[in-house]
Structure 1
Amino acid sequence: MANVIVNRVKEFLKKYPPFNFLTDDLLELVAREVELIYYEKGEYLFEKGEPAKKHFFVVREGAIHLTEELAGISHTREHCDEGDVFGVLALLGKRPYILTAQAVEDSLLYAIPVHVFDDIMQKNSRVSMYFAAGFASGQVVVRTDLSQSQEARKLFNSPAQDNGLMIFSGQSLVNYSYPVVSCQLGDTVAMAVKKMSSRGVGSIIVLDGDAFPKGIITDKDLRNRLIAKGKPYETKVEEIMSHPVRTTHTKADFAHIYLTMIKHRLHHLLITEDGTDQSELVGIISDHDILLSQGNSPAVIINALQGTSDIKEIAKLRDQSERLLGYYLENEISIDFVAGIITEINDIIVQRAIQLAKNKHDTSFKEASKVKFCFVGLGSEGRGEQLLRTDLDNAIIYEDVPESLSDQAASYFHLIARDVMDILFACGFQACPGEMMANNPQWCQPISIWKRYFSDWIRQPDQESLMMATIFFDYRPVAGFHPLANSLTEHIYSEIEKEKIFLNFFAKNALLNPPPLGFFRNFIVEKSGEQRDKFDIKLRAMMPLADAARLLMLSHRVFGINNTFKRFEKLAELEPTNQELYLDAGKAYEIFMRIRALEGLKNQTSGRYIQPESLGKLQRQLLKNAFFPIDELQKIIRVRFQLDYFAS
């Protein structure tokens, strides 16, 4: 009889991570130690602040809510049902619980003793990184618990685990599921649930008459949109499905898939014939598939950042991401992918910093704290290209307020900006020498002032205005109310439409730095100062490309794409006759970004100034080839914007 029970436990556990990572022998060892516990609806398993128990839990049947009380109101942070793991503080932090666990229906749980898993955690990196990444059955149920765990940090820092940082090797590594369980628009939820149950899956895709995906229904949708609302099972699937769905194409590589899911916090990504929701469904990828494919990922850092309010911890995590950056660069990982990951990490740090600042000041500025605002990144940060912790360029845009609230709003946002910048400095980011930062009151202003700034720069394009435009045109909303940034963008294009001559001035400014084609003969290096005899890769290689891409995108009235190499990709689409040049320019920019980042990591600098003799033969040849698109681009700009006539 005992063996029968053990086998039942094994059969259940092996369907869910991290138990499906275990060998049969280890799984049996775990199953033999499991205790079955019953909780009635409404009963508490543990409360916030209680010492961690000597076991963690897996839901066998029923449902558990993990809640937190704020201002006397209980907020549900996670809903755990069949197969979900929770209460792992006993495994990792050995600290009091930070959430309360309550059975919301009669529930059976497996309680797994910590001592059984101690040895497994030490020896099985896939299990360790599963918990460290905060995933459980396709959702993050212990994110905050795990983000501060000493074990996860030790594992991530361990040299023996460095191979786990390599999550992309150039090809698609994720096997998507097919055939996908699906139903049709117009079907009832009862029909959909029957299909889900018969196939043993937790989601179903809703298709239209052309077999194009229109929505997805998960167990969570059934709970929250059907059962909780008291709707009958005869409800049509379209009434409770999540939509629109996010899709990608069959040839998407792992980098694209992984970044899409990380950036949009997706649990499921659909694969279609052409990558849109207007073509046939081919397969589905879950975040669990991603986890099984890689075992370790930047999700460790991202989940940890989202769960901590400790500034020292945030700084440590940013240090970890720099080590991750070094590993990616050394292994020739796509710069597009690397930039996406580092940008996402930097953005989350800013978002956490803003939340910490708001927590500190909102109670003292009750009216001003309700004013909508947008924190924007500028320069390389705005372009999503800030791989190293170089100079910060950013600003705050907030909505216009009544005169009576003007001073209070200004004071409030200046305090928010000050605290955010202090946190970023504590994380190793450098201050902008020109003080183009949100903590400078000049760059922390209501939307009407920002519109006036840009109008002045566009209508009076003197040298100072053009310099400002070069920096500020690459703004990107990082946190807050994005429509404010969008409103500013619409204003800018409206102003440029009225003052078309501005683009000619802007084009002239883009030619200030000619390509260093004599680099390998005469070494175009700095002639004096601290950086004498060094090559300025930012000024002489990267800026000419960034300036050209920005100008050409403005001339095409395309906004929403700030990244330089992505701008060149878009320009290749818009101008087929120059497609090859634009694609080469994008590749050149990626080369410069990689070389600068490697130089910066090696010397613990910004990487801007390079000692020419330190470059190897291959790097020198790579640089030489990368300079030529600059010259060709500047020829196009000179002709297109009639700069020879304009100069005279």
Structure 2
Amino acid sequence: MTVSVEVAAVRDFLAECTPFNELSEEHLTLAAGHVQIAYYRAGESTGILDYSNPKLLIVRSGAFEVRNGEGELLDRVEPGGYFGYPSLLTGDAITNQAVVIEDGLLYQIDADTFQQLRSVNRSFDRFFNQAHAKRLRHAVRFREQNYQLTRRVGDLSSREPVTARPDLTVAEVAEIMTAQRVSSVMVIDERQQLCGLVTDRDLRARVVAEKRGPETPLSEIMTRELTSVSAESLVFEALLLMTEHNIHHLPVTADGQPVAMLTTTDLVKAQKADPVYLIGEIGHQDSVEGLKGVSRDIPELLRSLIRAEASADQIGRLLTTVTDALTRQLIKQAVEKYGEPPVPFAWLAFGSLGRRDQTAISDQDNGMLVGDAVTQGDDEYFLAVANYVNDGLDACGYKYCPGEIMASTPDWRQPLVGWKKQFLRWINQPSSKALMHASIFFDMRCVYGDQSLFDDLQATVCDAARGNEIFLANLTANALKLTPPMGFFKNFVVEHSGEHKNTLDVKLRGIMPINDIARIYALSIGSRQVHTLERLQEAVSSKLLTLKDSRNLTDAHEFISRLRLVHQGEQLRDGVKPDNHLNPSTFSSLSRHQLRDAFAVVNNAQSALRVKFTHGLM
């Protein structure tokens, strides 16, 4: 096919750029034929990204920067680089801005052509999806981590504003405030613009104290000189304003119209969603009832962390830290009640709490490791302490373990010698029950008490598991029973009936397999790490995993875990009991694509695990 000189020049340039070099000659020419060329001068920043008409932008010459709505740098794009594609992938009107750093030419490809090229070439499609995922991770990585300082006012104010006209009387407004159970009313004019504010304090100081009558109009007592903020303002900025002006009510406006009222009560509630605040409050409680009250703020902590785009790993560690603090305070209360322990002991955490990756769903997996000098009579003390802590955790929202893996159960309240015998039995006689326990008990951590007792136990376990081919082979075979829910044609395999119809259990079929992989590698080298991502890093150091494979598993773990946490945060917001069941039909096309990629990573890692360890069964 004959093409013009101009199209041929564009085609030659694109042919040198990944992923256009993956296209057939026909589709490369198609792309070049649809290119529009635009020239921009250094310093320009308007009109380059038009989200009403999104396009793929390819830098032919010059240099461009892409910044988010807060002005933070997301990417610097030079010849052969791309931007503008996130809107084409997601359909969302992303509010990034492009700035011209050096005079340059852009090749522009329209949305229809871009989608056609994605549909005909898998490598082309994968390239832009992975580029978008990388940019998202970059944006989160460089986001200010103190989420309390970066939260928006709009995140705190939820109810509709209570408003009144200036000609209403004090008596009428008092009735409104009583009925609406608010301490302030925003006054609006005929154009719905905010023109004044009346608070409880105004009614006391300007009506009662000045002996005005109930028929006094609001226009005579309202505060006219107002300080206000937008919903996009930082909570930190609002706090400074309220402190500077000594006010307790701050109107939230949009184009001069009231949209919400921010109060000091809202700020107190926001502070309660700070893990440092929560842990401090936990340390001040001397009763289960007090801890129960503090624990009610944990769901809001989770939602706050999700809104701040903290990583799933960060969220898991923070929630675990709060749970650790609750557990320690309960143990301290129990010791205060029952006296000092007769022999040293350690409180053990297993499973997700042991791995430091807790979510909104948390039942109890714990035990007590007691010094070998314990006597039969001493167990009465330790049972009392265990019952106090287990009951207290249940009261705080950490439900009793359905399998009774709790310190109050005799099997999981043992002297050191008893725990060693139990673990050695599981390792040397890997029955189906022992393998089931491995996914819980081999992820253990000391939360409180004598660390040396725990270190002694962990050393015994790690030494026994290291290089034990039969145990590792059985552990691997058992772990491989949980595979990602993907069909032969790379379609999602969902539940076909029941309560969770059309959903995936992303914990069971996505996160747990990665945890299993990391655990097996750790046990094979006698590692004492229990956190999944740290285990994967040690596997790289020990040459069991390549750096690329470790990073792929880490990214897959983060992506799937993040999807689950966002899902649980939405359920908490809606008053629904959190679960692990996600409906893939509700995802964007990008998220579905990335989830398939994450499952493919897990599947490949399981295949490598099978080759490496199951020979012990032959």
TM-score range relative to shorter protein: 0.5 to 0.7
Residues 335 and 127 of structure 1: is their aligned pair in 2 closer, same or farther, counting only changes over 3 Å?
A: farther
The yes-or-no answer on 1:609 pairing with 2:577 is: no
Q: Which amino acid aligns with 2:509?
A: R
Counterpart CA distance in 1 for 2:241 and 2:520 is 49
User: What are the superposed Cα offsets for residues 63-110 of structure 1, whole Å, 9 maximum, x if unpaired?
Assistant: xxxxxxxxxxxxxxxxxxxxxxxxxxxxxxxxxxxxxxxxxxxxxxxx
The residue number in structure 1 matching 2:351 is 379
Q: Report if the CA contact (8 A) 2:468-2:524 is conserved.
A: no
519, 526, 530: which one pairs with 1:550? 519
SS state of the match for residue 299, structure 2? helix
Q: Who is 2:530 aligned against?
A: 562
- What's the offset of the Cα at 1:614? 3.2
* Alpha-carbon distance change, 519 to 319 in structure 1, aligned in 2, over 3 angstroms: farther
Q: Shift of the alpha carbon at 1:349?
A: 0.2
Report the equivalent of 2:394: 425
Structure having the higher Rg: 2
Deviations 1:181-228 (CA, angstroms, capped at 9, x unpaired): xxxxxxxxxxxxxxxxxxxxxxxxxxxxxxxxxxxxxxxxxxxxxxxx
Alignment of 1:152-163 (within 5 A): 158-159=265-266
Take 2:298 and 2:382, find their aligned partners in 1: how far apart are those partners? 29
2:514–2:557 Cα contact (<8 Å) kept = yes
- For residue 302 of structure 1, the aligned residue among 275, 279, 295 is 279
Letter in 2 for 1:444: R
2:561 alignment partner in structure 1: 593
Q: 1:550 to 1:412 in 2, by over 3 A?
A: same
Is this contact kept in 2: 1:569–1:586, CA < 8 A? no
User: 1:375, 1:477 within 8 Å by CA — same for their partners in 2?
Assistant: yes
Aligned residues of 1:597 and 1:607 also touching (Cα < 8 A): no
> Which of 619, 623, 640 is the aligned partner of 2:612?
640
1:536 paired to 2:505: yes
Match status 1:583 vs 2:551? yes
Equivalent residue number for residue 571 of structure 1: 539
Q: Is the 8 A contact 2:354 2:445 kept in 1?
A: yes
- SS of the aligned residue for 1:307 comes to coil
Question: C-alpha deviations, 1:295-342, integer Å up to 9, x for none?
Answer: x94221111111111323322322223212212112311233222222
Q: Cα 1:497–1:584, aligned 2, differ >3 Å: closer, same or farther?
A: closer
Q: Deviations over 1:217-253 (max 9, x none)?
A: xxxxxxxxxxxxxxxxxxxxxxxxxxxxxxxxxxxxx
Cα separation, partners in 2 of 1:383 and 1:624, compared to 1, 3 Å: same
Question: 2:213 — aligned with what?
Answer: none
Q: Is 2:480 aligned against 1:511?
A: yes
Tell whether 2:482 aligns with 1:482.
no
- Where 1:431 maps in the other structure, the secondary structure is coil
Task: Point out where structure 2 has 5 or more consecutive residues left out of the alignment.
Answer: 1-236, 244-261
| 1:439 alignment partner, one of 374, 387, 408 | 408
Structure 2 vs 1, CA of residues 433 and 163 (structure 1 numbering), >3 Å: closer, same or farther? closer
Secondary structure of 1:474's aligned partner: coil
Question: What does 1:104-503 align with in structure 2 at a 5 Å threshold?
Answer: 125=239, 158-159=265-266, 297-362=274-339, 369-401=341-373, 405-406=375-376, 408-497=377-466, 499-503=468-472
Q: Give per-residue Cα distances to partners, 1:359-385, cap 9 Å, x unaligned.
A: 2222xxx6xx23111111111111001
Give the Å deviation of 1:540: 0.5
- Tell me how far 1:635 sits from its aligned partner: 1.7
* Shift in Å, 1:528: 5.0
CA displacement at 1:471 relative to structure 2: 1.2
Letter in 2 for 1:460: Q
The 1:627–1:598 alpha-carbon spacing in structure 2 relative to 1, beyond 3 Å, is same
TM-score, normalised relative to structure 2: 0.54
Q: Distance in 2 between matches of 1:529 and 1:394?
A: 32
Distance 1:638 1:614 in 2: 34
Residues 1:329 and 1:475: Cα distance change in structure 2 (over 3 Å): same
Q: What CA distance in whole angstroms lies between the structure 2 residues aligned with 1:128 and 1:562? A: 45
Q: What letter is aligned with 2:277?
A: V
Aligned residues with identical type, % of pairs? 30
SS of 1:370's partner is coil
Give the 3 Å change call, closer, same or farther, for CA 424–156 of structure 1 in structure 2: farther
Deviation at 1:647, TM superposition (A): 4.8
Counterpart of 1:184?
none
Structure 2 letter corresponding to 1:307: H
User: Does the 8 Å CA contact 1:564/1:589 hold for their aligned counterparts?
Assistant: no
Aligned-partner SS, 1:396: strand
Asked if 1 retains the 8 angstrom alpha-carbon contact of 2:490 and 2:596, the reply is no
Q: Distance in 2 between matches of 1:352 and 1:510?
A: 36
Mapped partners of 1:528, 1:467: distance in 2: 27
Partners of 1:164 and 1:312 in 2: how far apart? Answer: 21
- SS of aligned partner of 1:542: helix
Give the counterpart letter for 1:619 in structure 2: S
Q: CA deviation at 1:600?
A: 2.1
Secondary structure in 2 aligned to 1:445? strand
Mapped contact 2:465–2:524 kept (Cα < 8 A): no
Contact 1:374 1:477 in 2 (8 A): yes
Amino acid at match of 2:484: P
Distance 2:396 2:354 in 1: 18
Deviates more, 1:543-552 or 1:309-318: 309-318
Structure 1, unaligned runs of 5 or more: 1-122, 130-154, 166-295
Change over 3 Å in CA distance of 1:396–1:527 after alignment to 2: farther
**Distance in 2 between the 1:483 and 1:573 partners?**
27
CA distance 1:314–1:616, shift in 2 (3 Å): farther
CA drift of 1:620 comes to 2.1
Within 1, Cα distance between the matches of 2:601 and 2:452?
A: 36
- How far residue 579 of structure 1 moved from its aligned partner, in angstroms, is 0.6
Give me the CA root mean square deviation.
Answer: 2.9
Q: For residues 396 and 528 of structure 1, do their structure 2 counterparts lie closer, same or farther at Cα, with a shift above 3 Å needed?
A: farther
How far the C-alpha of 1:389 sits from its partner, in A, is 4.0
Amino acid at match of 2:295: R
Asked whether the equivalents of residues 601 and 607 of structure 1 are also in contact (C-alpha less than 8 Å), the reply is no
Structure 2 distance, partners of 1:476, 1:370, is 22
